[in-house]
Amino acid sequence: MIKGGERIASATGVMLADPHSLGNAGQGASEALFDPDFWLARGELAAASGGRGSAWFVGSSAHPWVLRHYRRGGFMARISEDRYWWSEEDRVRSFSEWRLLHYLSQLGLNTPKPVVAFYRRDRWTYRCDLITERISQTQALSAALEAGALTAAVWRAVGAAVASLHRHGVDHADLNAHNILLDASGVVSVIDFDRGQVRPPGAWTSRNLARLKRSLQKIAAAVPPDRFTPASWKELMTGYQAA
């Protein structure tokens, strides 16, 4: 299990952070950091994004962050939209993701740098949140496909980014076109490592790739046929294998 970070007890919960990463933006704020109204009052609630979780773009231009509140999906969401069963602190989802992102940032991979994680326990359940640095000036691979056809070089770069994760044993639990970001210079980043883990080599790498391919095929069904073709996937795999 990956370790790291400093445990910080707050009034109603527990935080996990590298104190240096909080900077002046987080000094004295404690768990208020995880309340969107706190950022709204400061004029630093920039935008919101959808998806299964609740996510907000927060912070100043000097400290652009993403705040995410963990929410359940699927059948379990009918029972509780944001409560998880408590077992032990090391298994808190926001803490696990913080530690994985911290590990990836130490490796120099293009993933969000973690800022601070938080959980609040209520007997047998808990709720949790995570703040990461925002990767600015990017768009999701899914949005890029909707906007136009991608070059072979971009597809190869996507494949190389996935290969870089796999080379370090990182199993991304939800590798899809929405969680891959592109910038104007061709740099590829990967986000959303909830339930991700570091594992020995195995069949999970093929499952990651198959999940990504299904995601691309689903998007392709709603856009012009040139946006994602067998040749596109071949270029992606060329980048993957070359890396």
User: What residues act catalytically?
Assistant: 174
| Pairwise CA distance, residues 205 & 172, whole Å | 9
Distance separating alpha carbons of residues 184 and 199, to the nearest angstrom: 32
Strand partners, 188: 182
Q: Check residue 62 and report its DSSP letter.
A: S
Sign of the CA dihedral with 167 first, then 99, 58, and 133 last: negative
Pairwise CA distance, residues 133 & 126, whole Å: 24
Q: Are 67 and 34 in contact (CB under 8 A)?
A: yes
Interior/surface letters 121-147, b for 16+ CB within 10 angstroms, e for the rest: eeeeebbbbbbbbbbeebebbbebbee
DSSP letters, 13-30, are: SEEEE-HHHHTGGGTTTG
How far from 148 is each of 4, 122, 145, 151, 227, CA to CA, in Å? Answer: 41, 48, 5, 10, 7
Report the sign of the C-alpha dihedral through residues 106, 94, 58, 216, in that order: positive
SS3 55: strand
